[in-house]
Structures are given as C-alpha cells and as structure tokens.
C-alpha cells in the first residue's frame, strides 16, 4: 500500500499547493448532535456533517474544484464528488479506506450520514485488494507510470475513480489539538484535525468553546486567493451555524 501511495504522490510533485490553517467554533453543531442523540439514540456522524457542509460550500463556489485539462483549459463539473476517509474493521483490524460520495451537493445531511454508516459496515475483500495491488506492482515501472499519470491527470478519469474533491479526517485516529498538512493532487482538499476546548471572546465575554482545527488546501495554479478566501468564509458560516442539523 505504501509503494502504491509513493508512486501516486510522485505524480503530484509539480503541484503548487497553498494551505490555510483555520479554526472553527463547532460548539453549536456538537451541541445539536448531542441533543439529537439524547432524543433519538442515534449519533449523527460528525464526518458526514463536515462533508455535507463542504459539498454545499463547493456548490456555491465551483471554481475550487476545477481540474486542468491539457494546458489551457479547465473542467468544472456540476456534481461535487467527495472522496472521504472512513474507518472499516476487517477481522478485528482497523482499516482506513476511502469512499467517494457522489453528487454530495445534491444530497442532504441525512443522505450523507446514512451513506457513510453503510460504507463503514460494508464487506470489503482485503485479500482481493492486496492481490490487485501486487499484480499492478509486478508491471515494469515504465509501464505503470504512464497508466498512473493518465488516470491522475485526466479530469474525467479523476472524477470517475477518485471524485472531484477530498475530505480527510485525521482526527478520527487521535485526540487533541492539531492540523494536518496533506500531500494531495486535488484542486481542493479539506483535512479535519483535532477538536479542543479554548477560551474565546464572544460579545465582550470570555466563553469556553469547542474549536475544530481544519486545513483547507488549494492548487494555487488553478485557484487564486480571492475565491479561496470566499470559499473558506462560506464554509465557516455553514459549519459554525450547524448547517441542516436543526432540520433532522
């Protein structure tokens, strides 16, 4: 798996990514999730909530998921396909695996939550995946890399195989404050870090709030600072406002 990852990153070496390390107050959405769980007994996936907010923000700022086509064109898809990291348990072992939520901008929070929960318990044939990797790695490198480059640089192949954006939740594997700096080839990547309590001044009063560390990464060859800032501002509004949580 690491050899596959290493070759994948090699294709991304020439990208010029910029990273925004931001902090969002998630006290309201966390409270709404807890209230809903106390009322119904069901815990809404926080990852699903973040993915849903990202999908909505991209829907309103689609330039952030533009993909370069050849040298002089950009492809901007109408659907927002979010590749997200989920944790599956196979034979007692935890396996972080990726799942693509198709057209997340056309779904609501309930749809995204149920899709992630279903993916977490989906039966995965790890041995079959390993065998596919081994067969691919047995190919000579001069044959592997052109195939990989074609798949990872063609907008239509990218959308088909890995979606148009990526949302990874490194916070699911640990606790505490921290930001993740991704190494990705997407025009937009959102990396969910840790959640910590800290004092914040609200209406001239100091309150203890829950803050989420979030890294928003852009391909600077495609996305300028102004649209990136607009996207982050809108994402902040959606997350801190508890988008769609009150409608469950």
Q: Where are the chain's structural domains?
A: 2-247
Beta carbons of 75 and 155 less than 8 angstroms apart? yes
For residue 18, what pLDDT is reported?
Answer: 93
The rounded distance, in Å, linking the Cα atoms of 113 and 102 is 13
pLDDT tens string 181-208: 888 889 999 999 989 999 998 889 999 9
**Sheet strands (E) in the chain:** 17-25, 67-69, 73-75, 82-90, 93-101, 165-169, 188-202, 205-219
For residue 91, what pLDDT is reported?
Answer: 66
**Sheet strands (E) in 57-183:** 67-69, 73-75, 82-90, 93-101, 165-169
**φ, ψ of residue 152 in degrees (nearest 5):** -90, -5
CA-to-CA dists, residue 172 to 118, 154, 159, 200, 247, angstroms: 17, 31, 25, 25, 25
Beta carbons of 34 and 42 less than 8 angstroms apart? no
The rounded distance, in Å, linking the Cα atoms of 17 and 217 is 6
For residue 21, what pLDDT is reported?
Answer: 95
Bridge partners for 84 per DSSP: 99, 167
For residue 147, what pLDDT is reported?
Answer: 76
Low-confidence ranges of the chain (pLDDT < 70): 90-92, 124-126, 170-177
Q: Which has the closest alpha carbon to 238: 214, 221, 209?
A: 214
For residue 211, what pLDDT is reported?
Answer: 94
Architecture of domain 2-247 in CATH? 2-Layer Sandwich (3.30)
Quickly count: other Cβ atoms within 10 Å of residue 2's Cβ.
Answer: 6
State the Cα angle at 134 between 131 and 137, rounded to 5°.
150
For residue 36, what pLDDT is reported?
Answer: 96
For residue 14, what pLDDT is reported?
Answer: 77
For residue 171, what pLDDT is reported?
Answer: 58
């Amino acid at each position: 798996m690491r050899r596959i990852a290493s070759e994948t990153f090699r294709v991304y070496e020439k990208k010029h990514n910029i990273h925004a390390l931001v902090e969002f107050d998630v006290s309201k959405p966390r409270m709404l999730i807890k209230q809903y769980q106390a009322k119904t007994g069901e815990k809404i996936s926080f990852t699903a909530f973040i993915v849903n907010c990202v999908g909505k923000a991209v829907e309103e700022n689609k330039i952030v998921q533009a993909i370069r086509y050849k040298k002089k064109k950009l492809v901007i898809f109408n659907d927002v396909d979010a590749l997200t990291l989920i944790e599956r348990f196979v034979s007692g072992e935890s396996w972080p695996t990726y799942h693509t939520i198709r057209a997340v901008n056309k779904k609501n929070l309930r749809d995204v939550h149920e899709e992630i929960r279903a993916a977490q318990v989906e039966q995965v044939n790890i041995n079959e995946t390993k065998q596919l990797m081994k067969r691919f790695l047995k190919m000579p490198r001069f044959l592997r890399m052109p195939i990989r480059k074609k798949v990872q640089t063609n907008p239509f192949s990218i959308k088909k195989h890995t979606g148009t954006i990526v949302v990874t939740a490194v916070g699911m594997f640990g606790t505490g404050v921290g930001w993740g700096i991704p190494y990705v080839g997407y025009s937009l990547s959102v990396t969910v870090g840790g959640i910590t309590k800290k004092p914040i001044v609200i209406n001239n009063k100091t309150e203890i709030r829950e803050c989420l560390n979030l890294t928003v990464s852009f391909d600077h060859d495609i996305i300028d600072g102004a649209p990136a800032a607009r996207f982050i501002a809108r994402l902040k509004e959606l997350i801190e406002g508890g988008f769609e949580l009150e409608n469950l």
